Amino acid sequence: MKRLGFADIADRPHYWLADARAQACLIEGSLPGTPDFEGLVRCDIEIRDGRIAATAPLGTAPAGAVDLRGGLVWPGFVDVHTHLDKGHIWPRSPNPDGSFLGAAGTTLSDRSARWTADDVHRRMEFGLECAWAQGTVAVRTHVDSLAPQAEISWPVFKAMRDAWAGRIELQGTSLMPMDAFAEAQGDRLADIVADAGGILGCGTRLNGGAHEALPPGFRELLERIFRLAMDRGLDMDLHVDESGDLGAKALIEIAHMAERLGFKGRLQCGHCCSLAMQPDEFVTETLRAVAQAGIAIVSLPMCNMYLQGRSTGRTPRWRGITLLHELRSEGIPVSIASDNCRDPFYAFGDHDMLEVMTQATRIAHLDHPFGDWPTSFTSVPAEVMGLADHGRLKLGAPADLVLLSARFMSEMLSRSQADRIVLRGGRAIDTSLPDYRELDGLLGAPA
């Protein structure tokens, strides 16, 4: 079967995409048609000088248009929670038992021994090349920052952000256990982050510990981190309650702290798994506090299904994810992202937001109806990252689009979309994925 290819779209300053289907919730402005039962609108899209010039009713496009034959069109994806600095170390440092502590311990050993600037740079580059080829336009990465790593990794992050400017919007947020912020390195890290134009983040656990009952001095430590951010006008992004432990109740504490201190920046909390295990009353109280504090939540379903509920010889009994539907129905912005990729926290992954959408839809029942859930992979994370033109089909915005041969959500979610076409500024890019062999020398993989 003939597929739409490069030659159809290459280097035309003005053309139409005819007979497309797009999610109504991603079309800004008036809809060019009536959404079907999957939320899809059939339409034509005009591309002029690399930008979206019109989304028009089906049949508007003139002769000579590129015929998508009903195929889906998505805005470029936004991946708001990743760990590019950890990515792809799996071959040299696999997780011994698939547990969270196994992941943390293995990563610490690998980091201490191997994370030179060159090592971090090459693995981050590989991850970004994957994301680029899959159609991702913006990525936020956490940067492991426990001394002495901050001084090594943040300059690499800055260089990568500059090198990828105009292709992938890259944001960086620090990651360090809470107790390390009590030391002088807390101030130093906040300065490094501020200097880099980054976001201040921590994991709400102690160094070497898991996400369990809040440790003594939790509130003092949390307040210190908030004040480090506020003194420098930084946004915050935290790893929160990443366990099924009922004692892991950091989320509501963070919400109350943000309120009490009058935190004005953007604040995102990731994971929040244990919320799904809490009694209803506590859930209600937490959701109210999170909404009140204006916190955005990001869920990482692939990584959490891998890590949570894992015990050797015992079948996992829960999906490991937070209360996505309940959060959304309180009006709380919910993003869904990829998280770790081929490292001890998640053995798999390919920086592919379409895979994240497919997996998340199945894991969290983001269907019947799909509703606004497509925004969680696109416009909601774009908003969190402060990117007004990304993650939506918007007139005047760059034509950064992902075109699929799949015509319906059902087709898209049932088959790998490896044959996707990615447009950047209206032009098809090379979607070849980097070869794993490129990292062999770094990872000590057998020939």
- Contact residues toward Zn ion (CB under 5 A) are 339
38 vs 339, beta carbon nearer Zn ion: 339
Instruction: Find all residues with CB under 8 Å of 122, minimum gap 6, and list them.
Output: 439, 442
Residue whose C-alpha is closest to residue 16's, from 56, 66, 53: 66
CB of 107 to Zn ion, least distance (A): 11
CB of 139 to Zn ion, least distance (A): 13
CA distance 314 to 268: 33
**Around Cβ 437, how many Cβ atoms within 10 Å?**
9
CB of 110 to Zn ion, least distance (A): 16
E strands, 291-411, are 296-299, 334-336, 401-403
Instruction: Evaluate whether 396 touches 52 at the Cβ level (below 8 Å).
Output: yes
Residue whose C-alpha is closest to residue 124's, from 104, 102, 97, 152: 152
In order of 145, 153, 187, 260, the CA distances from 184 in angstroms are 13, 18, 6, 25
CB of 360 to Zn ion, least distance (A): 15
Catalytic status, residue 242: yes
19 vs 339, beta carbon nearer Zn ion: 339
169 vs 339, beta carbon nearer Zn ion: 339
**Structural element, H or E, at residue 122:** helix 117-134
- Three-state DSSP class for residue 193: helix
239 vs 420, beta carbon nearer Zn ion: 239
6 vs 348, beta carbon nearer Zn ion: 348
271 vs 390, beta carbon nearer Zn ion: 271
CA distance 209 to 202: 13
Reported for 440-446, long-range contacts at CB under 8 A and 24+ positions apart, including other chains, are 442/119, 442/122, 442/123, 443/88, 443/89, 443/91, 443/92, 444/91, 444/92, 445/91, 445/92
CB of 45 to Zn ion, least distance (A): 35
Instruction: Evaluate whether 113 touches 425 at the Cβ level (below 8 Å).
Output: no
CB of 146 to Zn ion, least distance (A): 15
Instruction: Evaluate whether 58 touches 7 at the Cβ level (below 8 Å).
Output: no
CB of 340 to Zn ion, least distance (A): 6
339 vs 352, beta carbon nearer Zn ion: 339
Each residue of 263-280: b (16+ CB within 10 Å) or e?
bebbbbbbbbbbbbbbee
CA distance 225 to 338: 26
CA distance 162 to 124: 13
Q: Which residue is nearest to Zn ion (CB)?
A: 339
CA distance 50 to 396: 9
CA distance 58 to 80: 33
The two three-digit tokens of residue 402, written as one number: 């992902």
Question: Could you say which of 38, 125, 242, 383 is catalytic?
Answer: 242
74 vs 100, beta carbon nearer Zn ion: 100
Which residues does the annotation mark as catalytic?
Answer: 242
